[in-house]
Amino acid sequence: MAIQAVVFDLDGVLLDSEPVWARVREALTRELGGRWHDGAQREMMGMSSIEWSRYMHDSLGVPLEPEAISDEVVRRVAAVYREELPMIEGAREAVERLASRWPLGLASSANRELIDLVLERSGLARYFAATVSSEEVPRGKPAPDVYLEATRRLGVEATASAAVEDSGNGLRAARAADMKVIAIPNASFPPEPEALELADVVLDSLAELTPEAVERL
C-alpha cells in the first residue's frame, strides 16, 4: 500500500529536547527531596503528562500532586524553549521535503502547550495538518493511541501512514498502530535493540529522511 501520510514524533526527532526534559525533571526531583535514578528519564520517555507526573510522584517520591508536578515541569521546559529552541540539525529541511509530498501529522508525548510553543517558535506549524498530544488520548506511548488519533485527524488509515520515531516506546507505539516505522535513533537515549528491530528502516540522521526513502517503504 502506498504511503498516504507521514507522522512525526517531536522530542528527539525534530527537537533535541530529551536532555532538557531530563535536566528539568532531575532538578525538580532533587530539589524536593525525591529519589532520582539514572534510568528515570528513559522510563518516562513516551509517557503522557498524566503518566510521567504520576511516575514522578509514586516512583521518584516527588512530594507534590501529579498535576502540580506536570505544571512545574512544563513551566520550566517552556522557559528553556523561549530562551533557545534546541532544534535538531536538518529538522526544518526534512519537514519541508516531506510536506511537499504528503500531509504531515505530529504525534507527541509533550504537553499541548509545549507542542504549540515549539511549532510557533520554529515556524513549522503551517506544515502540519494535524497535531496530537498524548495528554489528549487515553494512553501514552508505547500504546498506539496518539498515532491512531493523528492518522484519524489526517483522514488516512494508519496502515497507509509512516511514523518517524527515535525512542523505544515511540517505536513500539508506531508498530502497535500498524504503521510503517522509520527510526532515527536518539543519540542521548538510544532505543533498546529489540525496539529498534521493530523499525522498517533505520536512518542515521534527518538528512537521510527524503521522499525517496519514505516511498521505498
Rounded Cα gap, residues 43 and 168, in angstroms: 10
The residue type found at 203 is: L
The pLDDT tens digits of the residues spanning 15-38 come to 999 899 999 999 999 999 999 999
Rounded Cα gap, residues 37 and 39, in angstroms: 6
Rounded Cα gap, residues 123 and 96, in angstroms: 11
> Dihedral, CA atoms, 137, 16, 8, 25, nearest 10 degrees?
-10
- 197 phi and psi angles, rounded to 5 deg: -65, -15
Rounded Cα gap, residues 24 and 108, in angstroms: 18
The residue type found at 155 is: G
* Span 137-166, average pLDDT: 97
The pLDDT, as a whole number, for residue 189 is 84
Domains detected in the chain = 5-16+87-215 (3.40.50.1000), 18-83 (1.10.150.240)
Listed in sequence order, the residues at least 6 apart from 152 whose beta carbon sits closer than 8 Å to its beta carbon are: none
pTM of the model: 0.92
The pLDDT, as a whole number, for residue 188 is 82
The pLDDT tens digits of the residues spanning 137-150 come to 999 999 999 999 99
